[in-house]
Amino acid sequence: MPIKVLAPELVSKIAAGEVVERPASVVKELVENSLDAGASQISVEVQSGGIGLIKVSDNGAGIPTSEVELAFHRYATSKISNLADLEGISSLGFRGEALPSISAVAEVEIFTRNKSEAIGSYMYLRKGNVARRESRSRPQGTTITVHRLFRYFPARLKFLKSVNTENSHIAHVVSQYALAFPEVRFSLLLDKHLSFNTAGNGELRDVINQLYGLEVAQKMLKVTGTNTYLQVSGLVSPPSLARSNRSYLSFFINQRWVRSPLLTRATEDAYHGLLMVGKHPMAIINIPLPAEEVDVNVHPTKAQVKFLHGQWVFASVEEAIKSVLSKTPLATTKVVPFATTSWQKIASLPSQRQGMISDSEPTFVTPLPNERLPVLRVVGQLANTYIVAEGPDGLYLIDQHAAHERILYERILARWSQKEVEVQGLLQPITIELSPREEETLKANEGILAQFGFAIEFFGTRSYLIRTVPALMTKANLVETLSEVLDNLASKENPSPWEEKIAASLACHSAIRAGQQLSNDEIRELIKQLEGIHQPRTCPHGRPTMIHLSSHQLEKEFGRIS
């Protein structure tokens, strides 16, 4: 085919593909526009996961009648006009691509009134072209309604997930902006029911209360790190509030929500040694940075940024969080004094690198194949955390929590597959408050949760009544466990099938803890059960449950043989 310049319609569809990946991307762009317009109130309404309808209304500056049509042209923007503006960008948008992209893949209605005009304008666009236009009155602000998203793009539609999953992405996006702008009142309606609203009083803790509940709001610690380079502010969780995925980490650069591996790493490093492996902190961090220190124009959806001095940003964030954590009593954390970090590092490395790393590790630390255990003789318990046992070929050092977790995991899955799940009814139902995202996860997984013994009923706005739970759960950790089950179900980092995710969370929460003293009978029972299961040597998260020191290795270590 000869080279030719593509027709504008085709170009806009290609561009739209980058900007509008899924309904939540539309919501993100529209909310950003409302924020750029200085709105103090933004309401988002969604139907059928955004495929039916997305409506974003604000009380911002509005668009002058003469510019309404122009707003839908590619690269038409009121936010920058020259290169210097681009380099000193302070608005969320600047590429002039969102409205044209959205109108290329959906039908769009806009109804707006600019602050300097007496009457507003209404316009309907189909396939990117104006189908209707008229003057109408309305208060100052803008409402954009998107219908039939991807209707004519079966390929995109095919990639979308269930309504609840798309809703959960949308809830996540709106939550992030609510966290970034506590001074703005947000509300989110999903299929006519209120997912959340915020007060808009400027208090981050109040937003957290709305999104994550009162307990989290009260426990979060204030970060106020100031060093010569930058000022990090926000709230982070004490180690006792850890979650099982990273979706509670929110980073904002000049109130722009960004996904940044660098900031994630800096935050998690600050918690080093304070959280169990597989647990992640919660953090809402805002970093004001001079425009020349950060490049926001590296990604079509502006979700990623580049720092000029990444290492300073990294160090400042880590230091600021470390400094708050160092002032917190750690009594409530469940970390054992000698967590097996070096082990986990090895286990998670690709095999060709293991040799390299294990040079600095004791020579006997070698991963074990997954096979059944021989009969073991219990020697005793170490640090109330490890069980020492002897087998036909040497010594076994067993992590009691990880081992019990594996036993329960296999048992839960076996019962589930035989449809023999044991359920306990609660004499008094327990009420649980869910975050918007958790609520959508719950709705998406109601059926499978019921198969594991959870009977959960809708009670009121994001409130649910738990009536029955799996038999092995105790009342004490019920809310925490359910919240972890939901986290785990929503986690993209854990690609396992749903039933495995649920079983893993239940097993983890019900298993005996590190630091718990066990009687000899209890230890023997645990070992007996461990001998009977299929994969006794790794926990459900893939970490080792035990270290085996063979007789041969022992003799070598003691120099009995060379």
Binding site for ligand ADP (CB under 6 A): 29, 33-34, 37, 58, 60-63, 71, 76-79, 93-99, 142
- In angstroms, the Cα distances linking 18 to 103, 257, 289 are 14, 18, 27
Q: Supply the minimum distance, in Å, between the C-beta of residue 98 and ligand ADP.
A: 3
Q: Is 426 exposed, middle or buried (0-12, 13-18, 19+ CB in 10 A)?
A: middle
What does the alpha-carbon distance between residue 291 and residue 285 come to, in Å, rounded to a whole number? 18
What does the alpha-carbon distance between residue 148 and residue 134 come to, in Å, rounded to a whole number? 22
For 291-328, the three-class secondary structure string (H helix, E strand, C coil) is HHHEECCCCCCCCCCEECCHHHHHHHHHHHHHHHHHCC
| SS3 category, 215 | helix
What does the alpha-carbon distance between residue 212 and residue 436 come to, in Å, rounded to a whole number? 8
Q: Decide: is 42 part of the binding site for Mg ion (CB under 5 A).
A: no
Part in contact with Mg ion (CB under 5 A); list of ranges 88-96, 114-122, 422-430, 503-511: 88-96
Strand order across the 423-433 sheet: 423-433, 463-470, 455-460
Q: How many CB atoms lie within 10 A of CB 105?
A: 24
Q: Supply the minimum distance, in Å, between the C-beta of residue 199 and ligand ADP.
A: 22
Q: Decide: is 98 part of the binding site for Mg ion (CB under 5 A).
A: yes
Q: Supply the minimum distance, in Å, between the C-beta of residue 94 and ligand ADP.
A: 5
Letters for 210-249 (x = contact with Mg ion by CB under 5 A, - = none) are ----------------------------------------
Q: Supply the minimum distance, in Å, between the C-beta of residue 469 and ligand ADP.
A: 45
Which partner, Mg ion, ligand ADP, none, binds residue 103 by CB below 5 to 8 Å per kind?
none
Which partner, ligand ADP, Mg ion, none, binds residue 530 by CB below 5 to 8 Å per kind?
none
Q: Decide: is 300 part of the binding site for Mg ion (CB under 5 A).
A: no
Q: Supply the minimum distance, in Å, between the C-beta of residue 29 and Mg ion.
A: 5
The 8-class DSSP code of residue 218 comes to: H
The 8-class DSSP code of residue 369 comes to: P
Q: Specify the residue, 12 or 481, whose C-beta has the smaller distance to ligand ADP.
A: 12
Part in contact with Mg ion (CB under 5 A); list of ranges 29-37, 165-173, 444-452, 538-546: 29-37
What does the alpha-carbon distance between residue 381 and residue 399 come to, in Å, rounded to a whole number? 10
Which partner, ligand ADP, Mg ion, none, binds residue 94 by CB below 5 to 8 Å per kind?
ligand ADP
What does the alpha-carbon distance between residue 243 and residue 494 come to, in Å, rounded to a whole number? 13
The answer to whether 106 and 150 are in contact (CB under 8 A) is: yes
Q: Supply the minimum distance, in Å, between the C-beta of residue 12 and ligand ADP.
A: 12
Q: Specify the residue, 28 or 243, whose C-beta has the smaller distance to ligand ADP.
A: 28
Which partner, ligand ADP, Mg ion, none, binds residue 235 by CB below 5 to 8 Å per kind?
none
Residue in this structure with the two tokens 């319609």, named with its chain if needed: 9
Q: Describe the crossing of helices 400-417 and 520-531 by its angle, rounded to 10 degrees.
A: 50
Q: Decide: is 33 part of the binding site for Mg ion (CB under 5 A).
A: yes
Which partner, ligand ADP, Mg ion, none, binds residue 440 by CB below 5 to 8 Å per kind?
none
Q: Specify the residue, 61 or 170, whose C-beta has the smaller distance to ligand ADP.
A: 61
From 369, 372, 366, select the one nearest 530 (Cα to Cα): 372
Q: Supply the minimum distance, in Å, between the C-beta of residue 25 and ligand ADP.
A: 12
Question: Which tokens sit at 411?
Answer: 């048992």
Q: Decide: is 91 part of the binding site for Mg ion (CB under 5 A).
A: no
What does the alpha-carbon distance between residue 426 and residue 466 come to, in Å, rounded to a whole number? 8
Q: Specify the residue, 60 or 200, whose C-beta has the smaller distance to ligand ADP.
A: 60
Which partner, ligand ADP, Mg ion, none, binds residue 37 by CB below 5 to 8 Å per kind?
ligand ADP
Q: Specify the residue, 177 or 386, whose C-beta has the smaller distance to ligand ADP.
A: 177
Q: Using alpha carbons only, how large is the chain's radius of gyration in Å?
A: 27
Q: Supply the minimum distance, in Å, between the C-beta of residue 30 and Mg ion.
A: 8
Which partner, Mg ion, ligand ADP, none, binds residue 399 by CB below 5 to 8 Å per kind?
none
Part in contact with Mg ion (CB under 5 A); list of ranges 25-33, 211-219, 289-297, 434-442: 25-33
Which partner, Mg ion, ligand ADP, none, binds residue 71 by CB below 5 to 8 Å per kind?
ligand ADP
| SS3 category, 510 | helix
The DSSP element (H or E) to which 504 belongs, if any, is: helix 498-510
Residue in the shown chain whose Cβ atom is closest to ligand ADP = 93
Q: Supply the minimum distance, in Å, between the C-beta of residue 35 and ligand ADP.
A: 9
The answer to whether 481 and 453 are in contact (CB under 8 A) is: no
Which partner, ligand ADP, Mg ion, none, binds residue 62 by CB below 5 to 8 Å per kind?
ligand ADP
Q: Specify the residue, 99 or 507, whose C-beta has the smaller distance to Mg ion.
A: 99
For 467-494, the three-class secondary structure string (H helix, E strand, C coil) is EEEECCCCCCCHHHHHHHHHHHHHCCCC
Q: Specify the residue, 63 or 502, whose C-beta has the smaller distance to ligand ADP.
A: 63
Strands 283-287 and 249-253: parallel
Among 49, 60, 93, 234, binds Mg ion (CB under 5 A): 93
Which partner, Mg ion, ligand ADP, none, binds residue 105 by CB below 5 to 8 Å per kind?
none
Q: Specify the residue, 85 or 203, whose C-beta has the smaller distance to ligand ADP.
A: 85
What does the alpha-carbon distance between residue 430 and residue 453 come to, in Å, rounded to a whole number? 15
Residue in the shown chain whose Cβ atom is closest to Mg ion = 93
Part in contact with Mg ion (CB under 5 A); list of ranges 18-26, 90-98, 324-332, 445-453: 90-98
Q: Describe the crossing of helices 261-270 and 310-326 by its angle, rounded to 10 degrees.
A: 30
What does the alpha-carbon distance between residue 271 and residue 282 come to, in Å, rounded to a whole number? 11
**Footprint of Mg ion on this chain (CB under 5 A)?**
33, 93, 98
